[in-house]
Amino acid sequence: MAISLDKALGIHQHALEGRVKRAEVLANNLANADTPGYKARDVDFQAMMQKAQDSMSGFGMTRTHESHMDTSPMGADSELLYRVPHQPSVDGNTVDAQQEQTRFMRNAMDYQASFQFLDGKVSGIKKALSGQ
């Protein structure tokens, strides 16, 4: 009986990848907080997880031609959206540094939680393989 790591690790590996992508986007927003005209972006994490779950079920779509849309779980920028500002600045920048820092910290905590779930799965696999 072969062990499939994709099935053993479940959705947690995709959640970790999604959290990393969101951290990059939020860090980019923070880096451009003073750039005139910069539009804050964010990742639709729920959409990313839904795509990952669909691809894991085996019933997802596959890209068979280069002009077809990319439907991979972490593909393209389909999950990357512009954020609607609460209070846009005069120069057109939509980044609110305090909100971005809060989102970044929340994402970091969610990343740690996803990492701990994944670590628990790997520990369980190690115990099963060693016969404990």
Q: In this structure, how many other beta carbons lie within 10 angstroms of the beta carbon of residue 98?
A: 8
Q: Report if residue 42 sits inside a domain.
A: yes
pLDDT of residue 3: 64
Domain span at residue 16? 11-50+94-131
Nearest C-alpha neighbor of 36 from the set 96, 85, 90, 100 = 90
Tokens encoding 120: 């628990």
Q: Report if residue 59 sits inside a domain.
A: no
- pLDDT score of 30 more than 90: yes
Nearest C-alpha neighbor of 80 from the set 24, 33, 16, 38 = 24
Please indicate whether residue 109 or residue 88 has the higher confidence score (pLDDT): 109
- Dihedral (C-alpha) 63, 75, 94, 109: value to the nearest 10 degrees? 150
Nearest C-alpha neighbor of 28 from the set 47, 41, 44, 46 = 41
Looking at every residue in the chain, the average pLDDT score rounds to 84
- pLDDT score of 114 more than 70: yes
Q: Report if residue 6 sits inside a domain.
A: no
Residues 118-124: what's their mean pLDDT? Answer: 88
User: pLDDT by residue (tens digit) across 43-92?
Assistant: 998 888 888 888 776 665 666 777 776 655 444 556 789 988 888 789 99
Q: Report if residue 40 sits inside a domain.
A: yes
Number of domains in the chain: 1
Tokens encoding 16: 């970790």
Q: In this structure, how many other beta carbons lie within 10 angstroms of the beta carbon of residue 121?
A: 16
Q: Report if residue 62 sits inside a domain.
A: no
Q: Report if residue 81 sits inside a domain.
A: no
pLDDT of residue 77: 53
Q: Report if residue 122 sits inside a domain.
A: yes
pLDDT of residue 106: 97
Q: Report if residue 111 sits inside a domain.
A: yes
